Amino acid sequence: MYLLVVEDEQKLGDYLRKGLSESGFNVNLERDGAVGFEMARSGNYDAIVLDVMLPGMGGFDFVRGLRRAGVRVPVLMLTARDAVEDRVQGLESGADDYLAKPFSFSELLARVRALLRRSPLQDATRYALADLQLDQTMRRVQRGGRRLDLTAKEFALLSLLLRRQGQILSRAVLADQVWGMSFDSETNVVEVTVRRLRAKLDDPFEVKLLHTVRGMGYVLECRDPAGR
């Protein structure tokens, strides 16, 4: 499951990313509301944890913009403002739940999991491309009816590429979303993992699915034999 956390308080944001990651989620953390909005609108997230008071774009405008754009991802709003009218405004803006600061992490985690159980997006746990099939719940990958034995990072990388198939993802995006780290040009962990994944995913098969786009990143898509 992929979560987007939009929180400008550095300590709280880092705390949420660490706690949610340790609870089994893939977490992206953004501190600017406007940047987070673009990530939410273009990305494939299962839920969003959103602060109300943000630079760039406030939480209420963030949620309203998502709903106007037809993005139905569940949103849990966080705020230090606990007045009834603030909670009402958050829910009427399109948020699915509202949690006042300070809060316990166990309660936040329970609320996130409850949102995911209620969300119609929860069924999106199986992905396919050509003869490739991935089941996130069972942690199983098959291609051409053959089981692929992937490491945890290879599975996470393939899952992300499948969820965003057809989109070119940069090394920086992959480093952030799969490893939860800022991109370091001296680190070759992305290239090494891509190479290992490609050996299992593509080398035994005639049709290649994982492609390198020079100077831009990687894309998962089915091309014809001519490479188009």
Q: What is the pLDDT of residues 181-202, one digit of tens each?
A: 665 666 789 999 999 999 999 9
Topology of domain 2-122, per CATH?
Rossmann fold (3.40.50)
Residue 226's pLDDT band (boundaries 50, 70, 90)?
very low
Distance from the Cα of residue 114 to its chain's centroid: 18
Residues forming a β-bridge with 104: none
How much is the average pLDDT of 206-226?
87
User: Token pair of 162, please?
Assistant: 């499948």
Give the C-alpha distances (Å, rounded to integers) separating 212 from 121, 167, 170, 218: 30, 12, 10, 5
Predicted confidence (pLDDT) per residue in 81-98, tens digit: 666 666 677 677 888 898
Residue 173's pLDDT band (boundaries 50, 70, 90)?
confident
Q: Which residue has the higher pLDDT, 162 or 89?
A: 162
Q: DSSP letters of the chain?
A: -EEEEE---HHHHHHHHHHHHHTT-EEEEE--HHHHHHHHHHS--SEEEEESS-SSS-HHHHHHHHHHTT----EEEEES---HHHHHHHHHHT-SEEEESS--HHHHHHHHHHHHHH-GGGG--EEEETTEEEETTTTEEEETTEEP---HHHHHHHHHHHHTTTS-B-HHHHHHHHH-----TT--HHHHHHHHHHHHHTTTSSS--EEEETTTEEEE----TT--
- Could you state, in order of their start, the residue ranges of all structural domains in the chain? 2-122, 126-220
CA distance 30 to 45: 13
Instruction: Find which of 20-24, 36-40, 188-192, 196-200 is predicted with most confidence, using mean pLDDT.
Output: 196-200
CA distance 24 to 2: 10
* C-beta atoms surrounding 64 within 10 Å: 15
Q: What is the pLDDT of residue 81?
A: 67
Q: What is the pLDDT of residue 34?
A: 95
Topology of domain 126-220, per CATH?
Arc Repressor Mutant, subunit A (1.10.10)
